[in-house]
Amino acid sequence: MRVAYNEQMTELADLLGEMAGLAGVAMERATQSLLQADLSLAEQVIGEHDKITELSTICEERAFALLALQAPVAGDLRSVVSGIQIVADIDRMGALALHVAKIARRRHPNHVLPEEVNGYFAEMGRIAVSIGAAAREVLETRDPERAARLREEDEAMDDLHRHLFTVLMDREWKHGVAAAVDVTLLGRFYERFADHAVEVGRRVIFLVTGKLPDDTETAVKDADNLTSYPEL
Amino acid sequence: MRVAYNEQMTELADLLGEMAGLAGVAMERATQSLLQADLSLAEQVIGEHDKITELSTICEERAFALLALQAPVAGDLRSVVSGIQIVADIDRMGALALHVAKIARRRHPNHVLPEEVNGYFAEMGRIAVSIGAAAREVLETRDPERAARLREEDEAMDDLHRHLFTVLMDREWKHGVAAAVDVTLLGRFYERFADHAVEVGRRVIFLVTGKLPDDTETAVKDADNLTSYPEL
């Protein structure tokens, strides 16, 4: 019984790591499809999104079964409860990658991005992939210090997001309102992707230590990102 | 013991309903602050946001304590697990209302919205308040049919959101890129607010029936809203 139980706990953790991996790959491909106006990559992200949704359902079912059949306590209970919360964050990361791919597909064969902001999205994509991989690593290692460092990568994302708004709001923006709308939404998708990765890190810290880190230390306040876009 | 247990279950449900009520009030005030350029209302939403965050933490702690100390089974277990998931959705609804209020504050004493789109936001705000109240009602009554009907209100929100994009993308848009960026973000905040209310409804359906409704029946696919914004 105990062996089966441990196996189930490990399996849940593995599934979460696998989901995070898929979300990271999806964002990597979505970013390429965006930067290269690559329709087939966009289609691939869109076609494979169901895998993330399915894993999400499986994780929730496994976590529920563990609670129902094993009534775990202490650290194990924290693991399962955190797992239920983490599923929602990773699921959302996958949905955000899907959104990026859908915008790339919608504008094909045109490029979505004015060349002027390509560099921003190349870098935001790089950070998204990196923070996604870090979230996966944290799920596997359960290293609370590594989890806390996710915030640093997110800060780099926030900086880029702020700069992007500066470019958008500049009187020199010559690409019209439609491109500005796309860039606004895309910027928000990348920023939220990183926020959810940070949230995964916070949940892992809770899972290991029994305490959620203070928001001011390691959490990302989405609200703060927003207030920081430049005053007009 | 059983009495205390039932009390704790009821208390958790009441706290969730209270949170949903606060999120609805926050969105109502945020919308007024946006439409009237009312700084004091915006400040009130911003100042009172911590209440929602605090309730969120309390709900999570209560749910965790219930699992740890009472090891509920069957329907009760579903209630607690759903409660943990619902907290995250309502917390996010509060954050989205906060974002609206912050944009209103940032642009004060100017109005954020060009007069042309005031009507859209008045109506999106009305639907947000209504769907927020419905989510609260569903949490209190646990009526799965009422929960399923949340989707209808969300469809009205999606329609408005689509129309809003038509206005934005129109060559007649004369309000510049900065206003378009604000309107894009605000539109998204209202639409996501309604999505989270629908998700609360889905969780209540699970809690009562033991099954999550089919996505195609009652869930809101955020992705679908996005793809439906007009082609250029």
In a domain, B232, yes or no: no
Residue A184: its chain B contacts at CB < 8 A? 180-181, 184-185
What is the CATH number for A158?
1.20.58.220
In a domain, B178, yes or no: yes
Yes or no, beta carbons of B180 and A181 under 8 Å apart? yes
Rounded average pLDDT over A201-206: 95
Structure tokens at B114: 């060009």
Residue B73: its chain A contacts at CB < 8 A? 68
Give me the residue from A103, A106, A169 closest to B177, CB to CB: A169
Structure tokens at A194: 């990183």
Number of continuous H segments (helices) and E segments (strands) in chain A:
8, 0
Structure tokens at A90: 């990773």
Between CA A131 and CA A195 the distance in angstroms is 10
Return the pLDDT at B210: 86
In a domain, B206, yes or no: yes
Give me the residue from A71, A84, A184 closest to B85, CB to CB: A84
In a domain, A30, yes or no: yes
In a domain, A24, yes or no: yes
Return the pLDDT at B215: 55
Chain A contacts to B (CB-CB under 8 A): 57, 63-64, 67-68, 71, 73-74, 77-78, 81, 84-85, 88, 95, 98-99, 102-103, 106-107, 165, 168-169, 173, 176-178, 180-181, 184-185, 188, 212, 222-223, 226-227, 231-232
pLDDT band for position A1 (50/70/90)?
A: low
In a domain, A232, yes or no: no
Q: Which of A136, A161, A162, A158 is nearest to A219 (CA)?
A: A158
Query: For chain B, what percent of residues have pLDDT higher than 70?
Result: 91
Between CA B208 and CA A117 the distance in angstroms is 48
Domains of chain A: total: 1
Buried b (16+ CB within 10 A) or exposed e, A7-25: ebbeebbebbbbbbbbbbb
For residue B121, how many other CB atoms are within 10 A of its CB?
22
Instruction: Give how far the C-alpha of residue A174 lies from the chain's centroid of Cα atoms, to the nearest Å.
Output: 31
Residue A64: its chain B contacts at CB < 8 A? 77-78, 81
Best A113, A177, A203, A227 residue to mutate vs chain B (most B CBs within 10 Å): A177
**A206: which DSSP letter?**
H
Chain A, chain B: beta-carbon pairs less than 8 Å apart: 96
Return the pLDDT at B216: 45
Mapping DSSP to helix (H, G, I), strand (E, B) and coil, where does residue A213 land? coil
In a domain, B211, yes or no: yes
Q: What is the pLDDT of residues B112-157, one digit of tens each?
A: 999 999 999 999 999 999 999 999 999 999 999 999 999 999 999 9
pLDDT band for position B219 (50/70/90)?
A: very low
Task: Indicate if the pLDDT at residue B63 is higher than 70.
Answer: yes
Which is more confidently placed, B223 or B25? Answer: B25
Q: Containing domain of residue A186, as a range?
A: 2-227
Between CA A159 and CA A225 the distance in angstroms is 9
Rounded average pLDDT over A193-211: 94
Structure tokens at A91: 């699921």
